[in-house]
Structure 1
Amino acid sequence: MSELKIIIPVYNEEGAISDVIHDWTQTLSSLNIDYTIYTFNDGSKDQTLQILNKLAEENDRLQVVDKPNSGHGPTILKGYKENLDAQWLFQIDSDNELKANEFEKFWKARHDFDFLIGYRIHRNSPLPRVVTTLISKLTVGFFYGNRVKDVNAPFRLMRSSKFHDDILRIPDNTFAPNLIVSGIANLRKLRIQQFPVTHHNRETGEVSIKKWKLFKAAFKSLIQTITFRFK
């Protein structure tokens, strides 16, 4: 059984992905972890896939999975479901807004916990994202419990055995599965640890969902999160 598998959904990140893979490879190798980085290319339209394939030729810790575009959430969920054989799963986004140097404190604390998640500090997000983040937290808190501060944070280390069956039950088209995963940690009364992680503004590319589409997507994710709670 692998010790750690890193799940990274990737979409149109040609400007950042090389730095992301380099930083995570360097950090994880320095900690002497038996790990594999799984990048899931979600139908990128730029040079992201070509860059990833070239990196994988030189990095035997990197695996590239190319798939049709289905969205950020379903791509994360695919990564989870296909890698539950690892002792630990860690999910991080590919935009380089959260850095690899924050990971060591999570890994060193893992023995006493089942779910270790970051909460973003110094985050400078536009008002629509602030509002949807708050609504997400309130929804998960009301229906699952409110122990997790940043319910959708893409910096989470999970003991796979504690989430295995529930993750397999999450529908493949779920828009924001990390909300449900945070909810499961609350609902199952798992041992949770939370650390601050510094948020850095995006330096390349752009967010894929904006303005009105963001609110529509948030509404969809909240309905899915609530529906799962009562399955």
Structure 2
Amino acid sequence: MDLSVIIPVYNEEESLPLLHQAVHQALDPLNLTWEMVLVDDGSRDASPRIIEGLHQSDPDHVRGVLLRRNFGQTAAIAAGIDHSCGEMIVLLDADLQNDPADIPHMLEKLQEGYDVVSGWRIDRQDQFLTRTLPSRIANWLISKTTGVHLHDYGCTLKAYRREVITGFKLYGEMHRFIPVYAHSVGAKILEVPVRHHPRRFGKAKYGLERTIKVILDLITVKFLSSYGNKPIYLFGGAGFILILISLITLLVLFVRRVFFQIPVLDSPIFQMSTMVFILGFQSILMGLIAELLVRTYHESQGKPTYTIRKLLPGHHRIHESDR
């Protein structure tokens, strides 16, 4: 299978027949085998029944994954990836705001050697204050924090090579951070403009309440991408800074005691600096414990700390007996 188009669905009964038709119009002219994986995320309307009908009428292209309840968009995308077969994966919303006609151009970029092609809704058809403006702020914050600079992390329409997105699990609202994970394993990322249409049916499923979740997930992603394999650098570094601050403060207090006869032990600053020293020491210990957990994680599951793009002829896998 060349391509899997994964579409999370939640209460989109009006959109599904039109979406099915639009995907066919976009992909049928291409010389590749493809499937459309519709993942129903606990819809309360007729979406599951429509997905089953589309599968029965078009079994060669439509696959359905019906979740038991609403788990969220990230979980639905993860289920679609797990139950898809394509070497290339395209993520697409079911509300018809993303245009399937943009998929062929994104696949061309994958064929040129890119691993991730991310959509950029330049002319976004959403309310500015409640959706567009918060999204722009979030995109700026994510780009600055992670070092992966994209204009539109929130655009679901993205194309991937399967090998760059199957080595990690998705939780919370982390589907928007997939390019960051892919970048951490050396993926080549390109952002291309895509069309964006006004919503034709229903209403948006997300609002401003998602902002806090995104910020918390961003902290997690930053930790995993930058310090996931060496947590001692974060905890140990913070610990050394705290210990250094404590020692400098204690030195100042003792200098005041020697030259100005100011008591040291009765000073609240002395007590605070002692607590800071203890916190710094505990932070270093936490880093060492985290290092043990990381090694247990990798070694117990046989997970390597590297990723390979290609093996040239003549190379072979190194076994323990070869060392």
Q: Quick one: which amino acid aligns to residue 183 of structure 1? A: V
Contact 1:119 1:149 in 2 (8 A): yes
1:184 aligns with 181
Q: CA deviation at 1:52?
A: 1.3
Matches of 1:16 and 1:210, distance apart in 2:
20
Farther-moved stretch of structure 1 (127-136 vs 67-76)? 127-136
Matches of 2:222 and 2:110, distance apart in 1:
29
Q: CA deviation at 1:189?
A: 4.0
**Which structure: greater strand fraction?**
1
2:215 aligns with 219
Call closer, same or farther: CA 1:99–1:124 in 2, change over 3 Å: closer
Give per-residue Cα distances to partners, 1:124-146, cap 9 Å, x unaligned: 32313224322432333233223
Call closer, same or farther: CA 1:182–1:130 in 2, change over 3 Å: same
2:17 aligns with 18
Asked whether 1:33 is paired with 2:32, we answer yes
Matches of 1:149 and 1:142, distance apart in 2:
11
Matches of 1:176 and 1:128, distance apart in 2:
21
2:246 aligns with none
Farther-moved stretch of structure 1 (188-197 vs 95-104)? 188-197
2:65 aligns with 65
Q: CA deviation at 1:31?
A: 0.9
Matches of 1:185 and 1:11, distance apart in 2:
26
Q: Quick one: which amino acid aligns to residue 58 of structure 2? A: N
Contact 1:49 1:66 in 2 (8 A): yes
1:82 aligns with 83
Gaps of 5+ in 2: 229-323
Q: TM-score, normalised by structure 1?
A: 0.87
- The secondary structure found in structure 2 opposite 1:201 is coil
Residue 198 (structure 1) aligned to one of 191, 195, 202: 195
Call closer, same or farther: CA 1:125–1:119 in 2, change over 3 Å: same
Q: RMSD in angstroms over aligned alpha carbons?
A: 2.0
Matches of 1:31 and 1:208, distance apart in 2:
32
Q: CA deviation at 1:72?
A: 1.1
- The secondary structure found in structure 2 opposite 1:108 is helix
Q: Quick one: which amino acid aligns to residue 129 of structure 1? A: R
Farther-moved stretch of structure 1 (44-53 vs 182-191)? 182-191
Aligned residues: 223
Farther-moved stretch of structure 1 (125-134 vs 106-115)? 125-134
Q: What are the equivalent positions in structure 2 for 1:1-231 lying under 5 Å apart?
A: 2-60=1-59, 61-67=61-67, 68-83=69-84, 85-111=85-111, 112-126=113-127, 127-165=129-167, 169-171=168-170, 173-179=171-177, 181-211=178-208, 213-229=209-225, 230-231=227-228
Call closer, same or farther: CA 1:35–1:145 in 2, change over 3 Å: same
Q: CA deviation at 1:96?
A: 0.3
Q: TM-score, normalised by structure 2?
A: 0.64
Matches of 1:98 and 1:214, distance apart in 2:
20
Matches of 2:135 and 2:221, distance apart in 1:
14
- The secondary structure found in structure 2 opposite 1:93 is coil
Give per-residue Cα distances to partners, 1:58-101, cap 9 Å, x unaligned: 11210011002101122112222333x53111100100001111
Q: Which has the higher contact order (CA 8 A, sep 6+)?
A: 1
Call closer, same or farther: CA 1:220–1:78 in 2, change over 3 Å: farther
- The secondary structure found in structure 2 opposite 1:90 is strand
Farther-moved stretch of structure 1 (45-54 vs 214-223)? 214-223
- The secondary structure found in structure 2 opposite 1:164 is coil
Q: Quick one: which amino acid aligns to residue 119 of structure 2? A: G
Call closer, same or farther: CA 1:218–1:132 in 2, change over 3 Å: farther
| Percent of residue pairs identical | 21
Matches of 1:131 and 1:38, distance apart in 2:
31
Q: CA deviation at 1:21?
A: 1.2
Q: CA deviation at 1:22?
A: 1.3
Contact 1:145 1:187 in 2 (8 A): no
- The secondary structure found in structure 1 opposite 2:120 is strand
Give per-residue Cα distances to partners, 1:13-68, cap 9 Å, x unaligned: 01111101111023212213211110000010011111111111111210011002
Structure (1 or 2) with the larger CA radius of gyration: 2
